[in-house]
Structure 1
Amino acid sequence: MDLDEKPTCETVPGLPQKKHYRQRAHSNPHSDHDIEYPLTPEHMNWDKYFGEFGEERRVEFADIGCGYGGLLMRLSPKFPGTLMIGMEIRVKVSDYVNEKIQALRKHHSEAGHYRNIAVLRSNAMKYMPNYFRKGQLSKMFFLFPDPHFKNKKHKWRIITPTLLSEYAYVLREGGLIYTITDVKELHEWMAKHLSEHPLFERLTEAEMNSDFVVEMLYDSTEEGQKVTRNSGEKWPAVFRRLPNPPL
Structure 2
Amino acid sequence: MPLIRVRQHVNPLAKKYQTPANPLEWEKIYTQPQQQLHLDIGSARGKFILQMAQLAPNWNFLGLEIREPLVVEANRLVLELGLTNLHYLFCNANNSLEPLLSSLPLGVLQRVTIQFPDPWFKNRHAKRRVVQPELVKELANYLSIGGVVFLQSDIKFVAEEMRDRFAEHPAFEKVGTETWLAENPLPIPTERETGVLSRGEPVYRALFTRRPLA
Normalised by the length of structure 1, the TM-score is: 0.76
1:78 to partner: Cα distance = 3.3
2:20 and 2:99 in contact (8 A); partners too: no
List gaps (5 residues or longer) in structure 1: 1-15, 106-113
What RMSD over aligned residues (CA atoms) do the two structures have, in Å? 2.4
CA displacement 1:172-225 (0-9 Å, x = unmatched) = 11111011100011111111111111111111169x689842x53xx3x23223
- Is 1:198 the counterpart of 2:183? The answer is no
Aligned to 1:49: 29
How far apart, CA to CA, are the structure 2 residues paired with 1:211 and 1:234? 9
- The answer to whether 1:85 aligns with 2:68 is no
The 8 Å contact of residues 64 and 90 in structure 2, kept in 1 or not, is answered as yes
Query: CA shift at 1:159, angstroms?
Result: 1.4
Partner of 2:50: 73
Q: Aligned equivalents of 2:56 and 2:74: distance in 1?
A: 19
Partner residue of 2:152 out of 180, 188, 196: 180
Give, in whole Å, the separation in 1 of the partners of 2:156 and 2:119.
10
Distance change in 2, residues 1:210/1:28 (3 Å) = closer
Q: Is 1:29 paired with 2:12?
A: yes
Contact 2:35 2:58 in 1 (8 A): no
The answer on whether the counterparts of 1:142 and 1:180 sit within 8 Å (CA) in structure 2 is yes
CA distance in 2, matches of 1:96, 1:196: 37
Output the CA distance in 2 between the equivalents of 1:224 and 1:244: 33
Contact 2:36–2:110 under 8 Å retained in 1 = no
The question of whether the paired residues in 2 share the 8 Å contact of 1:68 and 1:222 is answered with no
* Partners of 2:98 and 2:161 in 1: CA distance: 24
Which of the two has higher C-alpha Rg? Answer: 1
- The one-letter code of the counterpart of 2:141 is Y
How far residue 48 of structure 1 moved from its aligned partner, in angstroms, is 4.4
- Amino acid of the structure 2 residue aligned with 1:147: P
Change (3 A) 1:155 1:115: same
Partner-residue secondary structure (3-state), 2:117? coil
Tell whether 2:72 aligns with 1:100: no
Contact 2:20 / 2:92 at 8 angstroms: preserved in 1?
Answer: no
1:161 aligns with 2:133: yes
Residues in 2 aligned to 1:225 and 1:96: alpha-carbon distance in whole angstroms: 22
Read off the aligned partner of 1:33 and give its amino acid letter: K
Q: Structure 2 unaligned runs (5+)?
A: none
TM superposition shift of 1:226 = 2.9
Q: Is the 8 A contact 2:34 2:108 kept in 1?
A: no
Verify the 8 A CA contact 2:97 2:135 in the aligned structure 1. no
Q: What is the TM-score of this pair, normalised by structure 2?
A: 0.86
Q: How many residues align?
A: 208
Displacement of 1:92 in angstroms is 1.0
Residues 1:48 and 1:198: Cα distance change in structure 2 (over 3 Å): same
Contact preservation (8 Å) 1:159, 1:190: yes
CA contact (8 A) 2:171 2:210 kept: yes
Could you tell me which residue of structure 2 aligns to residue 240 of structure 1?
A: 209
Of all paired residues, the percent bearing the same amino acid is: 27
Distance 2:121 2:57 in 1: 38
Q: 2:87 aligns with which of 102, 118, 141?
A: 118
Structure 1 residues 133-152: aligned runs within 5 Å: 133=102, 136-152=108-124
Return the alpha-carbon distance in structure 2 between the equivalents of residues 132 and 172 of structure 1.
11
Judge conservation of contact 1:182–1:227 (CA < 8 Å) in 2: yes
Residues 135 and 166 (structure 1 numbering): CA distance in 2 closer, same or farther, change over 3 Å?
Answer: farther
